[in-house]
Structures are given as structure tokens and as C-alpha cells.
Structure 1
Amino acid sequence: MSGQTPGAGEPLKGLPPEQLPPVSGPLTGGESATSPKADDFAPAPRQNVFLKELLRSNWVTTLLAIVAAVIVGGILMAVTNKEVQTASVYFFSRPGDTFVAIWNSVYGGYEALFRGSIFNARADDFLTQIRPLTNTLGFAAPLIAAGLGVGLAFRVGLFNIGARGQILIGCAVAALLTFNLDLPMFLQLPVTLAAGIAGGAIWGGIVGLLKARTGAHEVILTIMLNYVAIYLVQWMVRTPGVLQRPSGGQPISAATPANAQFPELFGPRFPLLDWGFVVVIGATVFVWWLVERSSLGFRLRAVGENPHAARASGISVQRMYIYAMLFAGGLAGLAGMNQIQGAVTTGFDSTIDAGIGFDAITVALLGRSRAWGVFAAGLLFGALKAGSFTMQASQGIPVDIVLVVQSLIVLFIAAPPLIRTIFFLPKTDAEKAAKARAKAAKKAVMS
């Protein structure tokens, strides 16, 4: 029977390997006519791919960072509320009182924030109801201008934290050169505006020039020039014949001439909103065009992405640094002009920036250093500032809570993996690759 061909039901023993039937399947790693192939699987639905990419986007991460900061801010409101503290003493006997107190504190706080920054439904007429929105726009204008300058520098790889000094010098130059001209308004106003922008640009250009020629780090330069600007303006407003107000010995400058002030945009019922906001919108359009559409903007972005590759392709990196800081300083000077030509026209001293110089860093980070992103971030921070006063007045919530919310927004923006972990968002390809590398390195060490 050894020479007989085996039947279908007989065992295939004794045959050489080349005469054995092929064996394949999912457990062998081979493929057969009936085993599924990689190409046999249908691709993921397009809506799933779109949703996954949407959840990975920067806009979703930014929005959820704001949501997370608002949640933490609500917790702080509840913890610091006296009614919540009182009700929590007998929580186990009457827990409902505690939850009601928590709801009242959080809802009351954010309702006051909305009422003070967007729309006040308690007012008698429509114009008074929308006044909070105009206050928000007025507070946002200098934040947007300075944030555009910081964001533009970020796009070129420069960390400009000298907006405060650039604002101060812009105000000082405008006051020195234009306050005593006594020109008609159609000349005095633009001349004052141009002088302030030029002053800020010069102060920022010093940083760019030193960075380009000596390689000095822009962070150190801007920090030191901030102090130089602060003490220089303090000396100016204390010295008669320089910037000190002629009548009296107070350390404050003369008031901004009436013909150099921005006119109110919608009349005296909305005093905080003037034509400076329109100028800021124009500056936003200009920065967007400059960075995203112009050939100079392409070179600036190339330097920001990789200065060595930009230099190898023939771009003058040093020149781009100077240009970037000139633009950044000029935009900070525009923020200063929004202060002395709009918000504070009775005279200024070394505190005229009102923290705008450092808030601009936060605005630029939140806006991802994009022109319209910075514009939206400035509106958000303007709303927080406008609404904080109503929160404090009507609910007794400290303004510091709003500052905490602002800080938390930046914290969460700076840590996108944390946001994706909190809200169970899909990880990016870069995060997956980093996790795989870490896992492989750990496995190699253990082996």
C-alpha cells in the first residue's frame, strides 16, 4: 500500500514536503484564496476621519482649554463663597443646601461676567443693554494690538516679552513730539498715532539689531529694555520741561490734546469704544496679509521654522530678525496709542501700559500667533476684563478669580496632551510615535 496514492480521507504521512498541500490561514501568517487581505478591508468612513481630525485640531484644543479653565474657575468661586462654606458645615444632614449654594455662586458669577461683558438684560433700553459689549471691544483693542506684535515675533522664532517697554516709549515719543503741535484734528491725530508707532518700532528695532549683530538673546534684551523704558519714563514725567505737566509738580504728563484723541465710534453713550478699535482691525488685516500672503512674510515664517535652512536658501536671517522686531515694536506702540489717545487721555506715567505688555503674551499664545486667532483671543480677554468689574460689584467675587481663569487658559493651552487626556480626545500621530518610541526604548532596556 506504500505505492498507492492516498485518498482524501487518508493521512498524508510519508510524502515529501514539496508534495504536501499548502497550509495557510490566520494562525500561520500565510494567505490563501479565502483568507482576508489588507486590501479587502473597507476604508474608514469619511465622516469618521473628519471627526478624528476635527478633534485633533488646535481650535478644539483651545476651546476645551477655555472650558477646563472655566470649570476650575467655577470651583474656585464655589470654594470661596461664604454661603457655600456655611452650607457645607451641615452637608451630611441637608446636602441639597450645599448644592444649591454652589449653583447660585457659580451661576451668579458667570451670569455677572456675561452681563458685564456682552449683554445686560437688566438695563432699561437696548443701547444700555449693549454697552457692555462696547466696553469689551474697548478693553480688547490695546490687547489685540500688542498681542499681534508678540505673535508676529513668535512666528519668526523670537520671544518678545518687551511689549511693555515698547508701549511706554511709544507713548513718550508721541507726547514729546506731537502734544505741543496744536494742529487741526485731521493732522494732529494721525501724526500722534504715527509718532507712537514709530517710537515703539524703534525700541523693538534695537532688540532686533542687537540680536542680529551680536547674537544676544532677545529675552534678556527685552527684559532689560523694559526696565530702561520704565525708569526713563519715570524720569521724564518727574522732570520739568520734558514730560512733566506744566502746572504742578506731580509725576504725570500733560493731558492728551483734544484734537489728538480718537473720536467716539458710536457717540457718548459708549465712551470706551472709539475709532482706535477700527485702527486695530486694520492692523489685524495688515498683519494677516504680511505674514500669510506677502513675500516678506514667507521669509519671516521660513526663519521661524528653521533659520539654518532659511540661511542656506539665501534668506538673510539677521535682516528678518530686525524686520520682525520693528513690526512687533510698532504694533506695541499702537497699543500705547490706544491708551493715551483713547482710554487714558488725562495724562500718563510709567504705569500707562496697565499690564497690557504682559497680557499680550497670553493673548498671542491663546491665538496661536495667528492674526485672527490673536484678534479672537483679545476679544475674550477684553470680555473677561470688562465682566470682572461686574462680578466683583454684584457678586463680591474678587477680580483675582478672573486672573486665575486667564492663567489656567494659558496653562491648558501650553499642554495639549493634558487636554486630550482630560476630554478623551484622540492622540495625534506625533504623540503616538513618541509613545511607541518610549515603549520600544523601555523594552530594549529591559531586554
Structure 2
Amino acid sequence: MTRGKLPRWVDYGLIPVMNLAAAFLVAGLVVLLIGENPLEAVRILIYGSLGFGEGIGFTLFYATNFIFTGLAVAVAFHAGLFNIGGEGQAYVGGLGVGLACLALDRFVPWWVTFPVAVAGGAVFGAAWALVPAYLQARRGSHVVITTIMFNFIASSLMVYLLVNVLAKPGSMQPETRNFEAGGQLPLIRDLLPGLDLGQAPLNLAFVLALAACLFVWVLIWRSRLGYEIRTFGANQSAAIYAGISPVRITIVTMLISGGLAGLMAINEVMGSQTRLLLEFTAGYGFVGIAVALMGRAHPVGIILASILFGMLYQGGAELAFEKPAITRDMIVVIQGLVILFAGALEHLFRPWLERLFASGHVPEAQAA
């Protein structure tokens, strides 16, 4: 076996599991230092996220947000682009969703508003990614810098709009009016009454997220555009020599990425909050970066990584409630450790595994 090459099951399976185990090992040591039992903490976290219907519902609700933002980052990754503007793109996508709901909720049922809101979220999110894409493609401005800047611009824009333009009359709250029934996505517990999800706000956006995963898989691995995106990301010089336009690929990929991020607003604005309000993105755009890295930019991996982070969010809340010594800040530390090992230390174990496989200690049949 050639040095530096690893079987796919190691690259896409074993390494993420080892990174996750290392993160939880360090987190366990931190929990131990404050005088709590790490095994008990893990038990509470798992039970709080997967042990009963409401916990599962909240876990999948949070995972829905991470699927959208993780897919957004992953699509850009395949073209060699680092889109970290998912937070701003989702924020502006919420504007598209909110405007669709405000315009239609009093006149049509939700299933008519839904496709318009989906289009609004995708178009507004894509539009917010267009300027960074153009600056990267035509002016050489690095997309990392421009997308960071656009996150802050999106935040300021939404504050202005919700305070001065879209706020409901007579209210001091920076938010729109509540949507009527025609602008609210039905909850899964209402569609499937026999399914016990408690008060979890899990809604049809979860189904949309799974559909988005299928779309990304077909796009990246079963379409000509996806082939061009992967070729451009793997070797730009070879792609240009083959006649692939770097300007077109950069702009189109970023538009798709921004559109996927904008769809996250469906889950929060139309599904959970039923109004447009400040800070509904709550950092989900940044967590999407870790989700894409841990999921190896593949839709299946992104689903699994999203469920993991959904467990951390929901199970972490239960853990902080059951164990007051483990504060909410401690939960953020645990989440940060997972992000650290999944992102910055992603290749921590790779050199050791490469030496192990190159030395021949692993049978070839097993490595295949």
C-alpha cells in the first residue's frame, strides 16, 4: 500500500471516530477535574438526547439546521472554496422566508406558502453569497475574508430592517408579527399523532433537509456540473486546461452554497419561531463548518455529524440541568473540543495510521 494513502473506511470512518473519541476523552478529563463522574455525564447526555421522544425531537430539530449549513460548506469545499459566510447567508435567507410568509400567510394555506418560502430562502441566501463569489472570481479577493465581512453586514442589515421596517406596529421588539396558519410549517407531532415527540418543534424542514442531502449527492457525484466542481477543487490548473471556466465554477458553486445556507431559515423562521426575529441563526452557520469537516463533505457523513451536534445541543441542556456543576459554559467547551478535533486537529491521527498501513501490519485484504 502506498504511503500517504488510506482505505476509504479509515479516511471516512475510523479517523472521524478517533477524533470524536479524543474530544470526549479530553472533555471527560475536564468533567473529572470539577468533581463529576464522566461516565454519568455521558449517560445523562445520551439519555437527554435520545432516551425519550421529546429529546429525540429536539435533537433532530437542531440537526436540521446543521444539515443545511454543513451542506453549504461542503459544496464549497468540493470546489476548493472555504465559505464561512453561512451564518450571514442563513440570516438573509430568513429575510426571504419571512417576506414570503408575511405576504401569503393570510391568504393561502401553508402548503402554498412553503415552496415560495423555500425559493425565497434559497434565492436570498444565494444573493448574499454572490458578491463574495464575484470578488473571488473576478477580483481575486479571498472568499474567506469577504464572507466573514458579509456575516457582520448581514447582522447589521437585519437589525435595521427589524427595527425600522418590518417590526409590527406598536411593538418595541425587533421582530415581525407572528405568522398566521398559512405561514407556519406543521410540526411532525401534528402530522403523526401516534409519534410521541413531546413539545419538540421538529417540523417538515427536516424532510426538506434530507431532500437537500439527496440533491447535493446527485449534484456532486452524478452530474456534469458536479464533476467540474470536483475537478476544479482538486486541481485548478488542470481544470482550466480542460476548458472549465474558473469564474463560472466559483460563482455557481457559491450561489448553490449560499442557497443551501439560506434554507436553514425554513426550520427556524417558518417552522419554529413562526416570525422573523434577531439572532435566529444562533451560530448554526459556524457549527456547519465542523459538521462538513467531520462528515468529510459527504451528505451521509453530514447527516451523522449533524445528529451528533444535535445530541450535544439537546443532551447538553439536559446535562446542565441535571448536573449544576456542569454549567452551560462547560457544554460549550465540550462542543468546542469536538469542533477542535474535527477541524483544526482533523489529521491528528493520520500520520500514525499511514505508517501503520504502510508498514504492512494491516493485512491487504482487510485494508481494501
Which of 107, 110, 113 in structure 1 is aligned with 2:42? 110
Query: Which residue in the other structure is 2:348 paired with?
Result: 418
Q: Using the TM superposition, give the Cα deviation of residue 417 of structure 1 relative to its aligned residue in structure 2, in angstroms.
A: 5.2
AA aligned to 2:323 is: Q
Q: Using the TM superposition, give the Cα deviation of residue 404 of structure 1 relative to its aligned residue in structure 2, in angstroms.
A: 2.4
Residues 288-299 of structure 1: matches in 2 within 5 Å?
288-299=217-228
Identity among equivalent pairs (%): 34
Task: Give 3-state SS (helix, strand or coil) of 2:189's partner.
Answer: coil
Alignment partner of 1:392 is 2:320: yes
Q: Using the TM superposition, give the Cα deviation of residue 261 of structure 1 relative to its aligned residue in structure 2, in angstroms.
A: 1.8
Contact kept? 2:101, 2:270, Cα under 8 Å: no
Cα distance in 2 for residues equivalent to 1:313 and 1:430:
34
Which of 178, 189, 210 in structure 1 is aligned with 2:114? 189
Cα distance in 2 for residues equivalent to 1:153 and 1:307:
14
Which of 289, 298, 308 in structure 2 is aligned with 1:380? 308
Contact kept? 1:56, 1:428, Cα under 8 Å: no
Query: Which residue in the other structure is 1:404 paired with?
Result: 333
* 1:387–1:183 Cα change, 3 Å: same
Contact kept? 1:55, 1:425, Cα under 8 Å: no
Deviation per residue, 1:222-279 (Å, 9 max, x gap): 011111111011000110xx21122313222222332122211133752321111001
User: Which has the bigger relative contact order, CA under 8 A and spacing at least 6?
Assistant: 2
Structure 1: gaps spanning 5 or more residues: 1-43, 45-51, 82-101, 120-128, 433-447
Q: Using the TM superposition, give the Cα deviation of residue 370 of structure 1 relative to its aligned residue in structure 2, in angstroms.
A: 1.3
TM-score by length of 1: 0.73
User: Bigger shift: 337-346 or 67-76?
Assistant: 337-346
Cα distance in 2 for residues equivalent to 1:428 and 1:406:
30
Query: Which residue in the other structure is 1:443 paired with?
Result: none
TM-score by length of 2: 0.88
* 1:203–1:416 Cα change, 3 Å: closer
Contact kept? 1:256, 1:347, Cα under 8 Å: no
Alignment partner of 1:170 is 2:124: no
Q: Using the TM superposition, give the Cα deviation of residue 164 of structure 1 relative to its aligned residue in structure 2, in angstroms.
A: 1.1
* 1:112–1:233 Cα change, 3 Å: same
Contact kept? 1:112, 1:395, Cα under 8 Å: no
Q: Using the TM superposition, give the Cα deviation of residue 212 of structure 1 relative to its aligned residue in structure 2, in angstroms.
A: 1.4
Which of 241, 244, 258 in structure 1 is aligned with 2:167? 244
Alignment partner of 1:207 is 2:132: yes
* 1:73–1:231 Cα change, 3 Å: same
Alignment partner of 1:306 is 2:235: yes
Cα distance in 1 for residues equivalent to 2:127 and 2:359:
42
* 1:110–1:206 Cα change, 3 Å: same
Superposition misfits of 4+ residues, deviation over 4 angstroms:
52-56, 428-432
Cα distance in 2 for residues equivalent to 1:342 and 1:216:
36
Which of 224, 227, 250 in structure 1 is aligned with 2:149? 224
Deviation per residue, 1:174-203 (Å, 9 max, x gap): 323441333322211221221111110111
Q: Using the TM superposition, give the Cα deviation of residue 54 of structure 1 relative to its aligned residue in structure 2, in angstroms.
A: 7.3
Query: Which residue in the other structure is 2:160 paired with?
Result: 235
Deviation per residue, 1:297-329 (Å, 9 max, x gap): 000001111111100100011101111111111
Deviation per residue, 1:203-222 (Å, 9 max, x gap): 11222122212121101110
Cα distance in 1 for residues equivalent to 2:262 and 2:62:
16
Query: Which residue in the other structure is 2:277 paired with?
Result: 348
Deviation per residue, 1:408-432 (Å, 9 max, x gap): 23333343553357xx645277999
Query: Which residue in the other structure is 1:39 paired with?
Result: none
Residues 31-180 of structure 1: matches in 2 within 5 Å?
53=7, 56-81=10-35, 105-119=37-51, 129-180=52-103
Contact kept? 1:141, 1:277, Cα under 8 Å: yes
Deviation per residue, 1:141-164 (Å, 9 max, x gap): 011101100111011111101111
Which of 288, 293, 311 in structure 2 is aligned with 1:360? 288
More helix, by proportion: 2
Deviation per residue, 1:359-389 (Å, 9 max, x gap): 1111111111112111111111011101011
AA aligned to 1:356 is: Y
Larger Rg: 1
Cα distance in 1 for residues equivalent to 2:204 and 2:99:
23
* 1:425–1:310 Cα change, 3 Å: closer
Aligned pairs, number:
346
Cα distance in 2 for residues equivalent to 1:430 and 1:406:
34
Cα distance in 1 for residues equivalent to 2:239 and 2:358:
24
Deviation per residue, 1:43-80 (Å, 9 max, x gap): x9xxxxxxx84784331011011111111111111111
AA aligned to 1:78 is: L
